[in-house]
Amino acid sequence: MISKEEGNKTYKTIGEVAKLLGLINPKTGNLSTHTIRFWEKEFKQIRPKIFAGNRRYYNNETITILKKIKYLLKDKGMTIKGVKKLLNLTERNLDETNNISINTSNILKSKISKISKLLKDLKK
């Protein structure tokens, strides 16, 4: 596979991703890269990296999102609107979970600091 590397991230071309996803036109046997380009317009979560020559390259995170979209659309028969709602909901839940984790972490640090101070005071 032809892959570009930038730092530690490996990128795959649109053709490689179409092959990986099994997006093949049954009549012609050609890769259906136009499907991925269409999904890019429909789903804000798909952000390919554009390198020299205006070629699209996809990282593993984006490929995972594309796999989810394909599964929900092609295998589960969901509509584009339904998949958008699901992805947006998932994104929102992840943001909320991250915020809760940060808040919980700050609360725990504060309590540990208070307990440490109490222990020091008890030792005196």
Average pLDDT, the chain: 81
CATH of 1-78, one of 3.40.50.300, 1.20.1250.20, 1.25.40.10, 1.10.1660.10: 1.10.1660.10
Overall average pLDDT of the 13-41 stretch: 92
pLDDT at 106: 67
What are the pLDDT digits (tens) for 42-95? 999 898 998 778 888 999 999 999 999 999 999 999 999 999 888 887 666 555
Domain ranges of the chain: 1-78, 79-124
Q: Which residues make beta-bridge pairs with 57?
A: 13, 49
Is-contact 31 24, C-beta < 8 A?
yes
DSSP assignment of the chain: --EEEETTEEEEEHHHHHHHHT-B-TTT--B-HHHHHHHHHH-TT---EEEGGGEEEE-HHHHHHHHHHHIIIIIS---HHHHHHHHHHHHHHHHHHHHHHHHHHHHHHHHHHHHHHHHHHHH-
What are the pLDDT digits (tens) for 16-26? 999 999 999 88
pLDDT at 95: 52
Angle, alpha carbons 72-85-18 (nearest 5°): 35
pLDDT at 54: 83
Res 96 pLDDT > 90: no
Q: What is the largest CA-CA distance in the chain?
A: 83
Cα–Cα distance between 66 and 59 in angstroms, integer? Answer: 11
pLDDT at 108: 72
